[in-house]
Structure 1
Amino acid sequence: MTSPARMRPQHPATHRVVDLAETFALVVPPDATPLDEALTATGVTVSSADVADGDVFVAVPGLKVHGATYAAQAVAAGAVVVVTDAAGAVLVRGAGLSVPVLVSPDPRELAGPLAAHVHGHPGRDLVTVGVTGTNGKTTTTYFVDAALRAAHATTAVLGTVELKVGDEAVESPRTTVEAPALQGILALARERGAGAVAMEVSSHALALGRVRGLTFDVVGFTNLQRDHLDFHGDMDGYFRDKARLFAPEQARRGVVVVDDEWGRRLAATSPIPVETVATHVGDPVGDDADWAVVAADIGLDGVGSTFTLRGPDGARHEAASPLPGLVNVSNAALAIVLARAAGVELATAIDAVAHAHEIPGRMERVVERGDGFPLGLVDYAHTPDALVLALEAVRPITPGRLVLVFGSDGDRDQGKRPIMGQIAARLADVLVVTDENPRSEDPAAIRAAILEGVRAERPSGTDVHEATSRAQAIRDALALATDQDTVIITGKGHEPTQEIAGVFHRYNDRDVLLAVRAESTRARAESHA
C-alpha cells in the first residue's frame, strides 16, 4: 500500500535550508554541524519511515519516545536536516550524527507551517472544506465532496476511510494525517489540477496541530457526543479541542449544526462568522437557525431520506439524503450548506448530495433482504449516541427483529462500555456481543463490561449471545435471523484491520458478511443437490 506520506507532488520546489532557518527562527546549536549555504530541502516529514530524499525530518517529542531517537533512520533514508527541540538535539548529538540540526521550542507546532511553506502553501490555491464533530464527519465529508465534484473537474477527499486525489486513493491511517503529510497531499492535489478538497478534522488532529499551516475556506460542525474522553479528559476539554477549528487562523467561516447544546455553544462563541443548521421532524415554528431542516421521510423506503431545507431568506428547497435516518438528514443538510458556502450553487449542491454514492461502512447495505437472508448492514457507530441513531434509523425498515453485532474498543474510554450494552439491550431484539479492536486489553474483560450494561437493561438475558471471534459473531447473527429481520454490524465500519494484542490483522466486516452469505448459499445448494 502506498504510504499517505508518499502522496507528494512529482515536481516539488527546492528551498535553501538556511532560508528556512531564517524564516522560522530556527537556531543552530553551538556544538552542531554548521549549515551549508548550498544545502536544499524539498519536503518535510515527522515519520522516519516515510522520509524521502531531501526531506526535513521534524523530530517531535512523543508520549513515550522522542522522535529524535529515530534521527539515524531518517538520515539514512535521505533526510538532509533534523528540526527538533533542545532535548531532541541532545539525542541527535549523542547518536553521533553529522547531519545539521536546527532547534525550535515547539517542533510539533512548527511542522505544519514549515511543510506548508516548503510546498508553497497549496491550500491557498484550493477551495478547502473541513468537517469536525463526533459522529457524521465521514458521511458529511463525502456528501460535500459529491457537491464539490459537481463544480470542479478534480477534487480530493481526505478522512477516516481513504485519502483520495482524483481517481487515486490509498487507505487512510487515521482520520486526519500528520501535518507534513497533509501539506504534501494538498500539493499533489494542486499539481493534478484539483480545485477543491473536503476533509475530516479530528479532535486529536486539532489538539496535536495536524492542520496548522492551513486556513480552511469553510468548516463544519456536526455534533459532540461522548467519545475520546481518555484523551480529552472530559466533555469540556473535548469541546475546546473541537472548537480550535473555528479559530480565525484556522478557518474563514463556519457552519454549525445546533441540534445539541455543544453546537449551540459553539455558534454563540465562535470568533469567526458562522451559519447555523437545525434539524426538525415537525414544522420549525419559531426556529431562529439560519437553515431549518424539516424531515419528511427519514428512510421508510429502506434507502434514503427526504427533507425540506428552509434558507435564511425563507425560501424552501426540497432535498434528500441517500442514507436513512434523521442523523443523515442532518449530515446532508450540513453538507449542502457547506458546499454553498464553498461556492457551489445551492441547487447543484442539493442534487449532488441526493445522488451521492454509497459511503463505505456508513449504513452500508451489504446483503439485501430476500431468499431467506436478512437485510445486512455495516455501520461505523462506535459511541453511545451513534448506536442509538443507527438502531433508530433501521428499526422502521425492519419488519421482523433487529439483530445487532457489536463490541467496544480496547485502550479507549472504558466508561462507555456498559452504556453501549444498555442501549443495545433497549433498542435491539437480538444481541451478539463480540470484539471490536481489543488492542492491548483482555477482550473478555471488554465484553464483560458491555454485558454488565446489557444485564442492567435485560436481566433475563433473553436473546443475548457472546462470540469470541468477530467473524463467528457475524455467522451467528445470520444463523439467528430470517429474511424479515435486519442484521446490523456496528463499530468498525470500513476499517480494513482488527487490532488484537498489538497486532493488526486484515479484517473487514463487509467482506466477512459477504463471505458468510456465500457460505450459506453454497451449503443450501449442496443440501438440495
Structure 2
Amino acid sequence: MTVKPPTLSALADLTGGRLVALGESTVPGGAGDVLVTDAAIDARSVAVGGMFMAVPGTRAHGASFAGQSAGSCVLTDGDGLKVLRADGVQTIALVVDDCRAWLGPVAAEIHGHPSRSMTVIGVTGTSGKTTTSYMIERMLLDDHSVGLIGTTGTRINGRAVPTSLTTPEAPTLQGLFARMRDEGVTHVVMEVSSHALVMGRVRGVDFDVTGFTNLSQDHLDFHPTMRDYFQAKSLLFTVPQDPGGVLPASVVCVDDAWGRELAETLDDATTVTTTGVAPASWSVDSVEIGTDGVQHVTVTHPEAPGLPDRPFSFPLSLPGVFNVANAVVALACAGQAGIDVPTAAPKLGDLHVPGRMQAVTVGEGDARYPREFLALVDYAHKPGAVAAALTTLADQLDRAGHGGRIGVVLGAGGNRDHEKRPLMGAEAAKGADLVIVTDDNPRDEEPADIRTEVLAGARDIADSRGVDLREIGDRADAIRASVTWARRGDIVIVAGKGHETGQIVGDTVLEFDDVAVLAQALRDRQDRQEPTR
C-alpha cells in the first residue's frame, strides 16, 4: 500500500505544536514542503527524511542524542528544545507540551494510520496475555493473515520478526503495523501491558476488540497501589487509544473482583466466567479431562450471529482452570471480531505456547508425559500465577492417583516489585513438596538479598508442611538438583523465565534457556542411568 507521507506543517497542525528552526537549518519553501517519511525513538535508527522523537528519559533527555540522527526533524518538548540549542544541533524542531503523549498519534499519521486498515485485538491482564493471544492467533491463522505482538516476540503468519518489549514503543509499534498492513495482514493480536498504557505506547492504535484476563499483584514497583494498577489496565477499555477512533468491543473475565468492577464500568461488555461467581455472557458448564490430558470444555454463550443455539464443546491442549479462562476469553474476543467460533475453537486442541506449561523431554515418548516424571518450564513469576500452576499440577497428580510429588524451582526478578517476593515463596511452599529458591534475573540487585526475601515467605509454611526447602543460587545447579530429586510419577516445574533465553545480571545478559538447561539435566540423568526409586 502506498502512503503519502505528511508534511512537517501538517504534523504541527495535528499536535498544536510550534516549529523552530535551529542553527543554520533552513526549510526551502517552508515547512509545508518537508515530507516526514518515518519516525523512531532511537536516534541512530532515524533515516534521512525521518523524525527523531526525543522524549525525557530517566537518566538524560532524548534530545541529547539528536546529533546521532540523520533525520530531517525532531519532535520534542520545551526542555528538549533547550538541549538542542545548547548542543548546537541543526534541525527543525516540532515542539509540543507532552511529546510522549504524541509519539503514537504522530507515528500513526506518518505511516498512514495502519491499524485502521486491520482488525486489531488487544489483550491485557496480569496473567494469561501471551497464552490468550496465542489462542486467538491459532483460531485465526488458517483463514486469515495474522500478526502477533507480545512477550514472546512479534510474528507475521507464524514467522518471527525481531522486536523488544511486550508492547514496543509507539514509533516502533506503528512501523510494525505498517509492515503488517503492507504484507497483507488482516488481523493483529497483541498483548498490552500496563506500562504501555501509562507510557502511551499504544496511543494511535485503533483497537477493534479488547480482552481482560485477570488482575493480581505485580508491577507494584511501577504502580504505587493495586488501584493504580487497575486504573492503568482500564485505560484500554475506557479511553479510545486512537484519538480519531471509538471505544472497542470489550471482553472481560469476571472471575476476580477487579474484572467484575471493570465490567460494571463498561456499557456493553461481553463477560466471561469459569466459576459462576457472577452472571456472564459466556460461562463454562463443564470440563472433562481425557486420558491424553486434553481438556474438553463445554460453554454456554450469548445469542449472536455465527454461534449455535445451544452450548458447544471444544478441546484444549493446555492444562489448568486458568487456561480454561484464557480460552473462553479468546473465544469471546474471536466472536467479537466476527470469527466463526464453533469452527475455530477445535484448533485449541493442538495449541502449544513457548514457556507456558511447556513439557521438556529427551529420547522417545510422549512430550507431555516423559517416561519417569513430568518436567515443565513455565513463565509463572507472580504469586497468583505460581499458585495457579501448582494447583493445576496437584489436580493432575490427584487424577493420576499414584502419590506423585511436585518440585518447583523459582526466583524473583531484581529491580522489580519487592512485595511479591515473599508471596511467591509462600505460594510455592503451599503447593510443592520441594521448593528450590534460585536466581531469576537479578539485574542490579544482590542476588542473595532477593533469595532471602523469597525464602522469608516460604520458610514457616515449609516447616509446617514438611516441605524440602533449599537455596541454590546458581539457576542451572538448581534445575539439576530438582531433576536429581525427582522419581517416577513426580512433576518438576521450573518457573519464572519461561520462553526467555537470557539471564540479566547487572548490565549483562547471559545466555540462559530454562528449556535447554532442563533438557540437558534430563539427558545427564538418563546417561547416568539412575535407578528409578
Compute the TM-score of the two structures, normalised by the length of structure 1. Answer: 0.91
Query: Whole-Å Cα distance in 2 between the matches of residues 42 and 288 of structure 1?
Result: 50
Amino acid at match of 1:347: P
For the structure 1 residues 474 and 24, does the alpha-carbon distance in structure 2 shift closer, same or farther, using more than 3 Å as the test?
same
Listed one character per residue, the Cα deviations across residues 12-65 of structure 1 (whole Å, up to 9, x for unaligned) are 643332332233322123766453434322111112243233221111112232
Match for 2:71 among 76, 79, 98?
Answer: 79
Secondary structure of residue in 1 paired with 2:494: strand
Instruction: Work out whether residues 300 and 396 of structure 1, in 8 Å CA contact, stay in contact via their aligned partners in 2.
Output: no
Report what 1:477 is aligned to: 482
Question: Is residue 417 of structure 1 aligned with residue 409 of structure 2?
Answer: no
After TM superposition, give the deviation of residue 316 of structure 1 in Å. Answer: 0.6
Listed one character per residue, the Cα deviations across residues 166-206 of structure 1 (whole Å, up to 9, x for unaligned) are 24313542110011111111111111111100000000000
Instruction: Work out whether residues 128 and 197 of structure 1, in 8 Å CA contact, stay in contact via their aligned partners in 2.
Output: yes
For the structure 1 residues 290 and 420, does the alpha-carbon distance in structure 2 shift closer, same or farther, using more than 3 Å as the test?
same
Match for 1:350 among 345, 362, 373?
Answer: 345
After TM superposition, give the deviation of residue 209 of structure 1 in Å. Answer: 0.5
Listed one character per residue, the Cα deviations across residues 76-106 of structure 1 (whole Å, up to 9, x for unaligned) are xx22211100100111111111111110111
After TM superposition, give the deviation of residue 302 of structure 1 in Å. Answer: 5.9
Amino acid at match of 1:395: A
For the structure 1 residues 462 and 311, does the alpha-carbon distance in structure 2 shift closer, same or farther, using more than 3 Å as the test?
closer
Query: Whole-Å Cα distance in 2 between the matches of residues 90 and 22 of structure 1?
Result: 22
Instruction: Work out whether residues 75 and 96 of structure 2, in 8 Å CA contact, stay in contact via their aligned partners in 1.
Output: yes
After TM superposition, give the deviation of residue 230 of structure 1 in Å. Answer: 1.1
Question: Is residue 290 of structure 1 aligned with residue 284 of structure 2?
Answer: no
Question: Is residue 498 of structure 1 aligned with residue 503 of structure 2?
Answer: yes
- The within-5 A match list for 1:397-436 is 397-398=396-397, 399=402, 400-436=404-440
Query: Whole-Å Cα distance in 1 between the matches of residues 48 and 516 of structure 2?
Result: 38
Report what 1:3 is aligned to: none
Instruction: Work out whether residues 28 and 34 of structure 1, in 8 Å CA contact, stay in contact via their aligned partners in 2.
Output: no
| Gap regions ≥5 residues in structure 2 | 242-246, 304-308, 362-366
Report what 2:172 is aligned to: 181
For the structure 1 residues 476 and 369, does the alpha-carbon distance in structure 2 shift closer, same or farther, using more than 3 Å as the test?
farther
Report what 1:488 is aligned to: 493
Match for 2:260 among 259, 264, 267?
Answer: 264
Question: Is residue 120 of structure 1 aligned with residue 112 of structure 2?
Answer: yes
Report what 2:273 is aligned to: 278
Report what 2:360 is aligned to: 366
Query: Whole-Å Cα distance in 1 between the matches of residues 310 and 368 of structure 2?
Result: 39
| Gap regions ≥5 residues in structure 1 | 1-8
After TM superposition, give the deviation of residue 242 of structure 1 in Å. Answer: 0.1
Query: Whole-Å Cα distance in 2 between the matches of residues 372 and 183 of structure 1?
Result: 47
For the structure 1 residues 295 and 382, does the alpha-carbon distance in structure 2 shift closer, same or farther, using more than 3 Å as the test?
farther
Listed one character per residue, the Cα deviations across residues 296-331 of structure 1 (whole Å, up to 9, x for unaligned) are 23x574633221110124721112322000000000
Amino acid at match of 1:451: L
Query: Whole-Å Cα distance in 1 between the matches of residues 282 and 249 of structure 2?
Result: 15
Question: Is residue 140 of structure 1 aligned with residue 114 of structure 2?
Answer: no
For the structure 1 residues 227 and 310, does the alpha-carbon distance in structure 2 shift closer, same or farther, using more than 3 Å as the test?
same
Worse overlay, 379-388 or 59-68 = 59-68
Instruction: Work out whether residues 370 and 483 of structure 1, in 8 Å CA contact, stay in contact via their aligned partners in 2.
Output: no
Secondary structure of residue in 2 paired with 1:409: coil
Report what 2:446 is aligned to: 442
Question: Is residue 217 of structure 1 aligned with residue 208 of structure 2?
Answer: yes
Secondary structure of residue in 1 paired with 2:326: helix
Secondary structure of residue in 2 paired with 1:243: helix
Report what 2:225 is aligned to: 234
After TM superposition, give the deviation of residue 464 of structure 1 in Å. Answer: 1.4
Amino acid at match of 2:495: T
Report the count of equivalent residues. 506
Report what 2:143 is aligned to: 151
Query: Whole-Å Cα distance in 1 between the matches of residues 112 and 161 of structure 2?
Result: 24
For the structure 1 residues 70 and 449, does the alpha-carbon distance in structure 2 shift closer, same or farther, using more than 3 Å as the test?
same
Worse overlay, 123-132 or 413-422 = 413-422
Secondary structure of residue in 2 paired with 1:246: helix
Instruction: Work out whether residues 305 and 321 of structure 1, in 8 Å CA contact, stay in contact via their aligned partners in 2.
Output: yes
Report what 1:60 is aligned to: 55
Report what 1:44 is aligned to: 39
Query: Whole-Å Cα distance in 2 between the matches of residues 172 and 522 of structure 1?
Result: 38
Query: Whole-Å Cα distance in 2 between the matches of residues 168 and 182 of structure 1?
Result: 17
Over the matched positions of the two proteins, sequence identity in percent amounts to 39
For the structure 1 residues 172 and 30, does the alpha-carbon distance in structure 2 shift closer, same or farther, using more than 3 Å as the test?
closer
Query: Whole-Å Cα distance in 1 between the matches of residues 237 and 101 of structure 2?
Result: 17
Worse overlay, 360-369 or 195-204 = 360-369
Amino acid at match of 2:256: D
Query: Whole-Å Cα distance in 2 between the matches of residues 274 and 246 of structure 1?
Result: 9
After TM superposition, give the deviation of residue 370 of structure 1 in Å. Answer: 7.0
For the structure 1 residues 87 and 505, does the alpha-carbon distance in structure 2 shift closer, same or farther, using more than 3 Å as the test?
same
For the structure 1 residues 502 and 301, does the alpha-carbon distance in structure 2 shift closer, same or farther, using more than 3 Å as the test?
farther
Instruction: Work out whether residues 374 and 490 of structure 2, in 8 Å CA contact, stay in contact via their aligned partners in 1.
Output: yes
Instruction: Work out whether residues 295 and 326 of structure 1, in 8 Å CA contact, stay in contact via their aligned partners in 2.
Output: no
For the structure 1 residues 124 and 22, does the alpha-carbon distance in structure 2 shift closer, same or farther, using more than 3 Å as the test?
same
Amino acid at match of 1:101: A
Worse overlay, 498-507 or 222-231 = 498-507
Compute the TM-score of the two structures, normalised by the length of structure 2. Answer: 0.90
Listed one character per residue, the Cα deviations across residues 257-292 of structure 1 (whole Å, up to 9, x for unaligned) are 00000000000012x531000113xxx5x9521111
Secondary structure of residue in 2 paired with 1:96: coil
Report what 1:93 is aligned to: 85
For the structure 1 residues 181 and 381, does the alpha-carbon distance in structure 2 shift closer, same or farther, using more than 3 Å as the test?
same
After TM superposition, give the deviation of residue 342 of structure 1 in Å. Answer: 0.4
Query: Whole-Å Cα distance in 1 between the matches of residues 221 and 283 of structure 2?
Result: 35
Instruction: Work out whether residues 209 and 248 of structure 2, in 8 Å CA contact, stay in contact via their aligned partners in 1.
Output: yes
Amino acid at match of 1:410: G
Listed one character per residue, the Cα deviations across residues 384-430 of structure 1 (whole Å, up to 9, x for unaligned) are 11101000111233341101010111111111111111111111001
Report what 1:130 is aligned to: 122
Q: CA RMSD in A?
A: 2.1
Question: Is residue 467 of structure 1 aligned with residue 472 of structure 2?
Answer: yes
Report what 2:336 is aligned to: 341
Report what 2:364 is aligned to: none
After TM superposition, give the deviation of residue 69 of structure 1 in Å. Answer: 1.4
For the structure 1 residues 215 and 414, does the alpha-carbon distance in structure 2 shift closer, same or farther, using more than 3 Å as the test?
same
Report what 2:244 is aligned to: none
Report what 2:313 is aligned to: 318
Query: Whole-Å Cα distance in 2 between the matches of residues 401 and 231 of structure 1?
Result: 36
Query: Whole-Å Cα distance in 2 between the matches of residues 391 and 50 of structure 1?
Result: 44
Query: Whole-Å Cα distance in 2 between the matches of residues 287 and 231 of structure 1?
Result: 31
Worse overlay, 23-32 or 111-120 = 23-32
